[in-house]
Amino acid sequence: MDSFSATSNIAKKAPRNLNRAKACSHCRRRKTKCDAKRPHCSQCLARRKPGIEIVCEYPIVGRTRKRTLEESISTLEKRIRELERAEPDEDAVKLYDPSIYPLPSISSPLTHSKSPTSSTSLLLDASIPESSLYTAIEYQEDIPIALGQRLLSAFVPHARTFGFFLNLSRFLSSMTLPPAPGDSSRPCRGLMCSVYLLGLHFTGASADEESVFLSKTLWHVSNVLSADHPLRLIHGAQAEILLCNYFFRTGRIVEGKYHLSSAVNLCACAGLNKVRSGNMDTVFSASSLMGIGGSVLPEPQDLVDEGERINAFWTAFTLCNIWGVWVGGGISMIFESLGFQIDTPWPLDMEDYEESRIPPNYTGALTVRKFLSETPPSQHALSKTAWFAQSSLLLERAANMANSYRNELHPDDHARYMNAFTSLDRLIDSFHASLPHFSQTPLLPPILSSYG
Q: How many residues does the chain have?
A: 452
Q: Using alpha carbons only, what angle is made at residue 226 by residues 194 and 154, rounded to the nearest 5 degrees?
A: 10
Q: What is this structure's pTM?
A: 0.67
pLDDT tens digits for range 250-301: 999 989 999 998 999 899 888 898 888 877 555 444 334 434 434 478 899 9
CA 275 vs CA 164, 292, 341, 448: distances in Å? 19, 19, 11, 27
- Note the pLDDT of residue 51: 62
Residue 8 pLDDT exceeds 90: no
The least confident of 215-229, 330-344, 411-425 is 330-344
Higher-pLDDT residue of 89 and 412 is 412
Higher-pLDDT residue of 77 and 107 is 77
pLDDT tens digits for range 32-59: 888 888 778 888 888 777 766 677 777 6
Nearest alpha-carbon partner for 390 in 445, 326, 442, 330: 445
Cβ atoms within 10 Å, residue 425: 13
Residues 6+ apart with CB under 8 A from 385: 311, 314, 347, 348, 349, 350
Asked if the bond preceding 446 is cis, omega within 30° of 0, the reply is no
H/E stretch holding 364 reads none
Return the sign of the alpha-carbon dihedral for residues 322, 327, 328, 333. Answer: negative
pLDDT tens digits for range 381-409: 578 999 999 999 999 999 988 888 888 88
- Average pLDDT rounded to a whole number, residues 365-390: 79
Name the phi and psi angles at 86, rounded to 5: -65, 140
- Note the pLDDT of residue 129: 36
Percent of the chain with pLDDT over 90: 30
* Contact indicator for 366, 360 with CB cutoff of 8 Å: no
- Note the pLDDT of residue 124: 43
**Ramachandran region of residue 294, left (φ > 0), alpha (ψ -120 to 50) or beta?**
left
Higher-pLDDT residue of 340 and 404 is 404
H/E stretch holding 45 reads helix 42-47
* Contact indicator for 252, 216 with CB cutoff of 8 Å: no
Nearest alpha-carbon partner for 91 in 61, 116, 115, 65: 116
- Note the pLDDT of residue 27: 84
Q: What does the alpha-carbon distance between residue 437 and residue 452 come to, in Å, rounded to a whole number?
A: 22
Crossing angle of the two packed helices 232-249 and 303-327, in degrees rounded to 10:
30
The least confident of 23-37, 182-196, 381-395 is 23-37
Residue 95 pLDDT exceeds 60: no
- Average pLDDT rounded to a whole number, residues 158-173: 95
Q: What does the alpha-carbon distance between residue 370 and residue 131 come to, in Å, rounded to a whole number?
A: 58
Residue 248 pLDDT exceeds 90: yes
- Integer-rounded Cα Rg, in Å, for the chain is 24
